[in-house]
Structure 1
């Protein structure tokens, strides 16, 4: 064909004619891309924002049952009428109410928060009027989690250590990246007025008298302004306490008119609250600062700034004997993961360029390979623009980096097809200029390249609508890939044609110009040598890099190109194409195409049978060796924090014994114990003080620094070591991998009557325990009914006769036992509560508490104050109650939860439990179902199935539009079936675990990737038939001509993922700077993603090989059937160009 007969593209033509403009534009894009990359916040996982709202209410001295009735039910009543509500969960704890409202994904977080606040405002009329705090509503932000612990210790008083901690807290909270800093293990200062009940009674005083006197004597009030000699001065009445002696010396007037000194009836002291939480680092008591990062801020930068603040305080503000140590620093793992993934991306890029060299030569391979970084840089430039448009903010995290890694082999596809076609046309038409070859090549393959890119993007588009925690966690992968693949199309048709015009030469000319004499390499050799010398003056790493390039250039000039690449391109590749022609020619004879198709269908059925028999292990999310091990301890409800602490010390000792016995101390970064506070799941912390709970955290060094030893083994040893402590429920768990989803085994029992719920709970627990199901760690219920309590029963008739209410009795007991804040004591820096209560001895005596007088004003007696002892209107009895009452969607719920022991499959265990539950008789109104991780898994499986169907529909619409055919898209769809065969057989043969999330996403991604090969084949077959080729010859020749780009694109995609699949990491900075590559195989950063990588590798490899065989066969059969059975009578037969053999292709 002549040049004029080829279709060309206007914008590509313009780029070719205005190459200088494109080079300037490329430079600007490169510069802007690097700037955006450097400014992107860096963190391990992306910010997760979902429409979930927490409502917190504090009501000290209130039991869970009362919290449920007085707070949770009234608020739930208002919440249930809100539009868009998906689920309502509530927890009634001692003193605290926590309600979680989850909305459907279509509701914005800000809208959900406002709706909840409005509902809470409506419910306030039904709530107690004397709440201590709340109800307050706030959105759930999974990004605001502790990024490090700063531990302070030294030979100083508790007051001094607390002061140092508060000073450092102020310094860290001043950083814009930090939202708050929580202090753990410190004592809170308070002014205590501990009243002696007997002395108070003997003087005729009451709590009311003490409270009134303390509050009225501690004032600082402005009286307005006074004009004094023309100057307006503020008039202020100041009567604040300056020390505890001032309080002890105040005089309180009794009902008889006498006055009593406060210090005579109460112990007045400047002290601390009773310690309810403890923190230790390596068995030494510390005060811990729990640092919470602000959502969207740079984790790495925040950690660096915190270290700078600590260094400044240690140098200028803290004494030399104060020990400040950072533990649980999330930035260490984040840096390591990002570093490893970036190096893996570079290694994948090198692999892709290597395979390109074999098919295209070194020069073409390099500027085709440039499409990878250029596409990434264009994507970086677009991220700040597209992010706000889709309601999100991009950060540089492992999800985004994996998307780039997955895209390495995909973004070169468009460039490969365009450049390979340019190379073919340029070498075929000797009279053409390179500009003509580029224009014709770009136009000839534009439609297949466009449709191929669109079909690759199509499967990722439905993934953007993935709802829930998992969806928010994963959505950055499809979003990044869509942007990057779109950028690759732009690069392929704007930048790569310009590179081709500037650098591409004819194959024969390149061979002739390849001068292997020293004279031919002298100039480049001198230039590189000078560059190396200059590089060494700047930095040793730069010099080593230039020397490395010099060595590679010499190796390529004398060995790679003349002895490997040229023979491959001149002999092996043509031989491969000829053998492929013979194979397709043989297959398209007689019934062989039909036999081939039937054989594939038989293989498909056999694959499902084999997979069912072999049954690969199915996971929700993959996991490797843990970086953190948590030992959770729960003592009986009501256990004092001091007792819990003593048990925790025993556990700490056993943990250290295991570490020393296994010689694993060098594997561990820190061992931290927390009692009372911060004793729960880091991603789901307790909302109230829990003196009966503790947590020991074992933080391991980064995986590559463990010397090949397994932290999973240490976890098992610790689990065995901490067994057998009487009265303690102990569980040993790893840190959560991926988004928080709940326990892998979670049985939810819901209804209204606690008696029936308790019976069902015991029945389920007994049934599971007697079933012999293996792999369950410790199945425990969250329903605890043994919280001891003393109930004061008020005789309403007696109380009314005495003229007092139940509320007055309750307030008197609450003040005596918990205490009442009557005022604030202020010093130079802060203010502290003044608390009035009974002294310790009286507080611990129920008889003393019952002998309290309730003071009230008797209006019948002219407003005189009267005192009535509680014993005259109430009786007591001892009982037990619930420590926590959980509700879901306005029904009470009991949950049985457990982890899975190592080596067992959670999905298999859940299936066995579901079979047990199905046989149980459940009363009407009560439901038993699986929740937790299983619920998220079922939702994710359902979504992935829907997304796969949507992806198939989108791909079909694109293909049907391109080929203007209803049937031909189904020929290409067969490649998806082939990829599924490859995935299943690969997992069975290589004994890989199947992940619901990662394998599911991989299969969906494959649907778009593998059809590209079929598009290239059919599109060019159609092109040849349009030029007059007979159908059979068009199929053979079209397949042979498109063999190179098909193999290239598939090989590039597969090899780009090999480093991630095998966990290969090379430290390129260390390689060039210190000549230490730190080569790692099976690195920790690959654990999370290698299943997805293997899914694509298995599917794409198998599909590519068989696509080259099956697509020609199916196309041939389809056309023969259409011609024989469906061709209209007036439709002409196939028109064949008599000179087709002379037609230039």
Structure 2
């Protein structure tokens, strides 16, 4: 408007009034895309909740800035360089956009040629999108629930079985510590002996630490210097520990996102202990036999023997004894009989006072020789107590009211977990699993299914809210549908980015990017359609309005798309700028977080923008062309009827002239 001669105050005032509702509608549709994220109550949803909350506040503030403060600031400091701009002059309200020169003139001519070939443009657009999805579907992809980011910390769980003392457990952990101390890429090592301590957890809250863990190492990896790589360091640690004779261990990178545990997690639930153990053994053996899996474990009780004492109550009653007295006697050779408590002066808690036999007399066989005092004198305990060996059950875990055994494993190749889980589902379906055993796939597979269901519901809710907003803005169902086609185009662009750049697919980040894109890419169509409707109301023909719309809106569309892409490119190439140190680095653990999301937005926005600038002006004319085509068909049908009627009348007149009897009939009647 300033190029047309308006002063900046009037120009910015007019811009604010004309673009008020398009800007409001654009912001509302973007907000509608993120609102469903607020109702995602699972663990991944709670982790991702900060993104929509931040965007909602930022977008709301930007709306106030754009509609109130920006026109005021522009009227004060928003002058443009003097002189006439031929390209801008061609965009004036009463000008012909075909007179534009340079790249803008070239674009106008392209749009004019495309408008003249609507069926070809529509066919090419549809075929292109379908071909992209077919290309994606024909390619195998690795997938992760969250992200496969470079680890900054890792656990090394040292495993052993048997009744080991604390000193023996510590010696095993020390062997592992000595093997990796001083390795390149290892900054610090924290050592802890014993089965307790910090561990990683599964989504259900259970510890994913191996059940036979006797100690663990927490390793801090060097990742911030740009020289060392956490993945390579972990591989070196694994190789170094494998050379330690007799050492069993498991390495787990500390998860930096929603906890998912191991790549493959199978839960077996049943009340039939025998069927549960046999099924766990079957699946465990199959997982052990696969070369693409490692660190296989299950939560069955560790092998061991425990003695169960079966008391003959009737026989004990003959000697005047009951169960409590028998238990007290047995405690003399186990943990001791509690006789009192006292609290030392330097302690806050009381200490038990227990009485038991000397260590040399405390053994399982000592129960057979134990004598107990009765009213009839001391008698051997073996007269009414039988010591029965049985498999040791250290703990019984229940889930949803049933006993549960978990079988877990990690994949050798990162990102292959989803494919292996699908193979295991087919294999288990072909096995003769007892009907009393329920098989569940948990962990990343369960969370991925939950995330997929959420994204489907969120997409439907988002499209419904967008449609309501757009219908309020345009009051035209075709224009609402045309605006929402940008969502499909943007998804095709995301697929192109995955194929060209990403080594794997992060289900959370790519899904979030697609939903976010749906709220962003429709803004271009909103601006185009609003301008088209205004030009129609100004008296232009549909073809003229479509061409002028494309010419007038291409600059703001390219500016908004270009600034968004340029803002996200550093995330894609993993560029880190440290202004305080004056350095620019590429790569690193922290830079991997946003590659997936930024790639989805950049490629989806770029592809959809190109398609919108070329296809939307053509599709805007569809209703008018259909009405014209229907009118022409109607006129053609009417013309044929009139011609047929004229021929019929002509034939009737000729027949009357050649037949006098016929001419006399009306008079006779």
- TM-score category, normalised to shorter length: 0.7 to 0.9
Against the structure 1 CA distance between its residues 849 and 678, is the aligned structure 2 distance closer, same or farther, given a 3 Å change threshold? same
Worse overlay, 994-1003 or 674-683? 674-683
Task: Indicate the residue corresponding to 1:603 in structure 2.
Answer: 128
Answering whether residue 251 of structure 2 is matched by residue 732 of structure 1, we say yes
Change (3 A) 1:686 1:736: closer
- Which secondary structure does the structure 2 equivalent of 1:792 belong to? strand
Q: Structure 1's 785 and 1083: CA in aligned 2 closer, same or farther, altered over 3 A? A: closer
Q: Secondary structure at the match of 2:256?
A: coil
Matched, 1:994 2:505: yes
Sort the Cα spacing of 1:845 and 1:593 in 2 relative to 1 into closer, same or farther, 3 A. Answer: same
Structure 2 residue matching 1:830: 3-state secondary structure: coil
Displacement of 1:687 in angstroms is 12
**d(CA) in 1 for partners of 2:339, 2:317:** 28
Alignment CA distance shift 1:851-1:835 (3 Å): farther
> Are residues 510 and 732 of structure 1, via their aligned partners in 2, closer, same or farther at CA, if it must alter by over 3 Å?
farther
Are the equivalent residues in 1 in contact too, given 2:179–2:244 (CA < 8 A)? Answer: no
Residues 1004/812 of structure 1: CA separation in 2 closer, same or farther (3 Å cut):
farther
Q: Is the 8 A contact 2:37 2:458 kept in 1?
A: yes
Alignment partner, residue 215 of structure 2? 694
Q: What is aligned with 1:766?
A: 285
Contact 2:486 2:521 in 1 (8 A): yes
Corresponding residue for residue 229 of structure 2: 710
Residue 1035 of structure 1, CA deviation:
0.7
Which residue number in structure 1 is paired with residue 660 of structure 2?
none
| Distance across 2 between alignment mates of 1:609 and 1:963 | 34
Matches of 1:598 and 1:680, distance apart in 2: 59
Q: CA deviation at 1:851?
A: 5.6
2:333·2:362 contact (CA, 8 Å) conserved in 1? no
Query: Contact 2:577–2:584 (CA<8 Å) still a contact in 1?
Result: yes
The residue aligned with 2:262 is 743
Equivalent position SS for 1:818: coil
- Residue 474, structure 1, aligned to residue 48, structure 2: yes
In structure 2, distance between residues paired with 1:840 and 1:673: 34
Cα offsets for 1:969-1013 (capped at 9, x unmatched): 111122111111111112112354211110011011111100000
Q: Which SS does the other structure have where 1:742 is aligned? A: coil
Question: In the aligned structure 2, how far is the partner of 1:954 from the partner of 1:850?
Answer: 78
| TM-score (ref. length: structure 2) | 0.86
Indicate how the Cα distance of structure 1 residues 474 and 808 shifts in structure 2: closer, same or farther if over 3 A, else same. Answer: farther
Cα distance in 2 for residues equivalent to 1:439 and 1:810:
92
Instruction: Compute the displacement of 1:855 (Å).
Output: 7.5
Q: Residues 570 and 576 of structure 2 are in contact (CA less than 8 Å); yes or no, is this contact kept in structure 1?
A: yes
Q: Matched residue of 2:548: which SS?
A: helix
Structure 1 residues 604 and 888: alpha-carbon distance in aligned structure 2, compared to 1, 3 A threshold: same
The answer to whether residue 115 in structure 2 is matched with residue 588 in structure 1 is yes
Instruction: Call closer, same or farther: CA 1:1035–1:815 in 2, change over 3 Å.
Output: farther
* C-alpha distance after superposition, 1:435-485 (max 9, x if no partner): 333322111111110110011111111111112111111111111111111
1:1055 aligns with 2:566: yes
**Is this contact kept in 2: 1:633–1:648, CA < 8 A?**
yes
Match of residue 594 from structure 2: 1089
CA distance in 2, matches of 1:586, 1:691: 73
TM-score, normalising length: structure 1: 0.51
Aligned to 2:240: 721
- Give me the whole-angstrom Cα distance separating, in 1, the residues matched to 2:213 and 2:125: 62
Higher relative contact order (Cα pairs below 8 Å, separated by 6+ residues): 2
Counterpart of 2:295 (choices 769, 778, 789) is 778
| 1:876 to 1:678, Cα distance in 2 relative to 1, 3 A | closer
**DSSP 3-state at the match of 2:456:** helix
Once residues 429 and 478 of structure 1 are traced to their aligned partners in structure 2, the CA distance between those partners, rounded to angstroms, is 42
Counterpart of 2:76? 502
- Between stretches 798-807 and 490-499, larger displacement belongs to 798-807
Partner of residue 1121, structure 1: 626
1:628 corresponds to which of 112, 129, 153: 153
Question: Cα–Cα, structure 1 residues 510 and 802, in superposed 2: closer, same or farther, change >3 Å?
Answer: farther
Take 1:756 and 1:1127, find their aligned partners in 2: how far apart are those partners?
A: 76
**Equivalent residues in 2 for 1:293-308 (5 A)?**
none
| C-alpha distance in structure 2 between counterparts of 1:816 and 1:638, whole Å | 17
User: 1:1096 Cα deviation (Å)?
Assistant: 0.5
Q: Which runs of 5+ in 1 are unaligned?
A: 1-424, 512-572, 1071-1076, 1130-1145
- Give the match for residue 830 of structure 1: 348
Question: What is the alpha-carbon distance in structure 1 between the residues aligned to residue 565 and residue 120 of structure 2?
Answer: 29
SS of residue paired to 1:1065: strand
What does residue range 742-821 of structure 1 map to in structure 2 within 5 Å?
742-770=261-289, 772=290, 774-814=291-331, 817-819=334-336, 820=338
Rounded to whole Å, the distance in 1 between the matches of 2:28 and 2:278 is 57
| Structure 1 position 1105 matched with structure 2 position 630 | no
Give 1:1034 shift: 0.6
